Chains A and B, each alone.
Chain A
């Protein structure tokens, strides 16, 4: 008892933010249950846990996005209540969420100063606003972003940096980052690290949520682990090993991170690209993916990897060059054509919330939407067929579902991504294109996705897999094609497939030296 009250006293002195007894439920789902949590000034406090552990809800409560059902929140000893995000901002809490909050049709400068633009005679002072944006962007090392550009025209990674600059502009006392680095390139991540170190030196409290353990390892001073809506443990970083932390997060052991790669002769080429070009974004792409093979697309963000996937899926107009599928030349003109049985391509898109799912619709509707035409009897959707197909999809990916009639938005991020993947598996594709499918997803689900990819490959599916995570590419892929400026600069395979090789090729460091065409570069 004595011990406990002493801890409480010191907590009152040092802690910047203290939550006690916070609970939150969404309908029947308990998101947080009786959570006590505290964080200090001048420390980077990592919040760890699987998707659905309650991290996002915790952050949303701190940021004033949702209100707790019970419990109190104290800021520097004073009880506070944030009925809206702006009240949290006013109290010095700036947050960056997994979902971006930028307005796509406004300029970068407009977005950065959206809540309190500099004014002159009552009108927005655009020059001051622009200078402010330039200064903030410079602070995070993004001088290359033009503040007058529309946010819509920026790639995702740059948008994320703009979001960070915007939060920084609010002069926060508590800075909250929820998966803020998941869309960033490694160069940008370094810049964010440097910025966080500066904020820390300014005695600002920082809450950091990331599924990337190496980031947490590099940054955290303290860490709290959450599981199933409960606060499990808070400790100074270094007091627990990574293995122990993972154990705390998932409550079970993870043996191997990646499924083993089978050694077997290459199958027949399922997908063959010859001299594929689109505008100036794809230049002379030649690539083969065999049945049963997982081929990775690597390189820095925005070098044409996503464009290539979209071109194959028939989204882009004016693609030239050759696409050969199972020996037959095809010209995908729309996703509807690309998914037809004779082509058999599936795409798991970049942004599951806007491109992968119809969030307000039910889980069952979302699962069935791509294969609905195969579930018809006469002019009507056959409900029995549909139900059994949906159940099969849910079971195959072990999606955690209460009722398949619930809106898909009620699922956690990892389970939502499983719905997107299951939807496409229901069309029985021969070629699967994956656009960064594990972004912002918990460790457990990531591993399930890796295993599933290998399982599908074993069944003869050809997989083309873009990821911003090099570790993942090395662990999952039989071969990785590195793209730079719309071209494939190198293909890595076997023992060549190392982080060092990926990074040097991605930066095109040896681009001048390696004049040999990509196909030959793989032979050592």
Chain B
């Protein structure tokens, strides 16, 4: 009889999603009000502007999709920034038809290393992936000599990231495909069930005969591939790879997952929430830039919103063992 939360169990997963969805509306309304009064226009209501924002947001969305899988098994992947950068640099360095596979391969490889470190060597992911991030960074500095690489993105990368089909950015289609895949894994496949089981109680999952090590490695590999894909696309969007291009993706991706209602301790959360979380962060960012908020102020607001959302969700939920 430990669950006093029986009456809210139905809405427990949906509540954060509803809250962040309504927060998106608040951002849109407040932002529009501001632009109307100051500039006399309403860019936040124009489909072109919104699509452009979502196009930029799709890189974050892909990273967050991978991050969510890792957070669901109560781990974390802090190697995302330089996995993303390394994938972009390697892809542009190789060029030609192999650019995309090489970028994804880099992500896969880093994920494999992370997964083995966590599942077999039993090193806490917070430390292990942080170390891997530093190693990747060192390797990339050695590779480029610390300068911006002179290589350029291939046409395919540019088409995927920057071009439009039927008036909609291709990057959005890629994000949509990744989303569909992750949602399918989590909702319909045995792997998804094992992911939630491990996040809830790894010992119980192991004793139920779940190949927990295999699942943990798979999760890190998926997260690595997602980061690699985001890197390749971002290089395509910017036409080249550059130092530190992944740095801006670590905190926002974790924030998007958590804002979407995924329990940071793992085991609970819906993919739809992550999707909404990404959109919230992207819109918040763009409203702040329309307001010409200086970087320092943006960081403060951005951090406060994350803490605020967590406070709202945290109410009434006890951490029980």
**A residues touching B (Cβ–Cβ < 8 Å)?**
26-29, 31, 56-57, 60, 66, 313, 315, 334-336, 338-339, 347, 349, 354-361, 365, 368-370, 372-373, 375-376, 379-381, 406-407, 409-410, 412, 423, 427
Most buried by B among A354, A359, A423, A427: A359
Closest 10 interchain pairs by CB? Answer: A27-B6, A358-B200, A339-B209, A27-B7, A409-B3, A372-B190, A335-B209, A370-B208, A380-B188, A336-B211
Write the nearest CB–CB distance from A311 to chain B, whole angstroms. 14
Q: A358-B267, A360-B200, A372-B190 are in contact. Are A338 and B9 (CB under 8 A)?
A: no
B6 touches A354 (CB 8 A): no
B209 touches A370 (CB 8 A): yes
Contacts of B189 in A (CB 8 A): 379-381
A423 vs B6: C-alpha distance when bound (angstroms): 23
Q: A335-B206, A423-B208 are in contact. Are A412 and B200 (CB under 8 A)?
A: no
Chain B stretch 210-227: residues in CB contact (< 8 A) with chain A: 210-211
Contacts of A336 in B (CB 8 A): 209-211
Q: A355-B203, A407-B3 are in contact. Are A361 and B210 (CB under 8 A)?
A: no
A406 vs B1: C-alpha distance when bound (angstroms): 12
Most buried by B among A28, A313, A335, A423: A335
Asked if B268 lies at the interface with its beta carbon under 8 angstroms from chain A, I say yes
A407 touches B208 (CB 8 A): no
Write the nearest CB–CB distance from B317 to chain A, whole angstroms. 11
Chain B, residue nearest A368 (CB): B193
Asked if B207 lies at the interface with its beta carbon under 8 angstroms from chain A, I say yes
Contacts of B201 in A (CB 8 A): 354-355, 357-359
B197 touches A369 (CB 8 A): yes
Q: In the complex, which of the residues B7, B193, B211 contacts A381, with contact meaning CB atoms closer than 8 Å?
A: B193
A361 vs B4: C-alpha distance when bound (angstroms): 15
The interface bits of chain B over 186-206 (1 if a CB of A lies within 8 angstroms of the residue's CB, else 0) are 001110011011001101111
A321 vs B180: C-alpha distance when bound (angstroms): 49
Write the nearest CB–CB distance from A166 to chain B, whole angstroms. 17
Asked if B165 lies at the interface with its beta carbon under 8 angstroms from chain A, I say no
A57 touches B7 (CB 8 A): no
Contacts A/B (CB < 8 Å), 17 sampled? A26-B6, A31-B1, A354-B203, A358-B197, A358-B204, A359-B3, A365-B193, A365-B196, A368-B193, A372-B190, A372-B193, A372-B194, A381-B189, A407-B3, A409-B3, A410-B3, A412-B1
B200 touches A349 (CB 8 A): no
Write the nearest CB–CB distance from A300 to chain B, whole angstroms. 24
Q: A26-B3, A381-B189 are in contact. Are A407 and B209 (CB under 8 A)?
A: no
Write the nearest CB–CB distance from B286 to chain A, whole angstroms. 36
Contacts of B184 in A (CB 8 A): 380
Asked if B2 lies at the interface with its beta carbon under 8 angstroms from chain A, I say yes
A138 vs B197: C-alpha distance when bound (angstroms): 42
Q: In the complex, which of the residues A26, A313, A381 contacts B4, with contact meaning CB atoms closer than 8 Å?
A: A26
Chain B, residue nearest A380 (CB): B188
Contacts of A339 in B (CB 8 A): 209
A356 vs B207: C-alpha distance when bound (angstroms): 7
A26 touches B200 (CB 8 A): no
Most buried by A among B1, B194, B196, B267: B1
A349 touches B6 (CB 8 A): no
Chain B, residue nearest A101 (CB): B321
Contacts of A380 in B (CB 8 A): 184, 188-189
Contacts of B210 in A (CB 8 A): 335-336, 369
The interface bits of chain B over 238-280 (1 if a CB of A lies within 8 angstroms of the residue's CB, else 0) are 0000000000000000000000000000011000000000000
Write the nearest CB–CB distance from A125 to chain B, whole angstroms. 29
B209 touches A338 (CB 8 A): yes
B6 touches A406 (CB 8 A): yes
A407 touches B9 (CB 8 A): yes
A26 touches B1 (CB 8 A): yes
Contacts of A29 in B (CB 8 A): 6
A28 touches B204 (CB 8 A): no
B193 touches A369 (CB 8 A): yes
A370 vs B201: C-alpha distance when bound (angstroms): 14
Q: A358-B200, A358-B201, A379-B189 are in contact. Are A369 and B208 (CB under 8 A)?
A: yes
Contacts of B203 in A (CB 8 A): 354-355
A308 vs B4: C-alpha distance when bound (angstroms): 37
A60 vs B211: C-alpha distance when bound (angstroms): 37
Contacts of B200 in A (CB 8 A): 358-361
A370 vs B207: C-alpha distance when bound (angstroms): 9
Write the nearest CB–CB distance from A463 to chain B, whole angstroms. 18
Q: A365-B193, A406-B9 are in contact. Are A358 and B1 (CB under 8 A)?
A: no
A359-B3, A372-B193 are known contacts; what are 15 more A-B pairs with Cβ within 8 Å? A27-B7, A27-B9, A29-B6, A56-B1, A334-B209, A335-B208, A336-B209, A355-B203, A356-B204, A358-B196, A359-B2, A379-B189, A380-B184, A407-B3, A412-B1
Write the nearest CB–CB distance from B1 to chain A, whole angstroms. 6
Contacts of A60 in B (CB 8 A): 1
Chain A, residue nearest B188 (CB): A380
Write the nearest CB–CB distance from A230 to chain B, whole angstroms. 16
Q: A27-B6, A380-B189, A409-B3 are in contact. Are A334 and B211 (CB under 8 A)?
A: yes
Chain B, residue nearest A379 (CB): B189
Write the nearest CB–CB distance from B74 to chain A, whole angstroms. 12
Chain B stretch 4-18: residues in CB contact (< 8 A) with chain A: 4, 6-7, 9
Contacts of B193 in A (CB 8 A): 365, 368-369, 372, 381
Write the nearest CB–CB distance from A66 to chain B, whole angstroms. 7
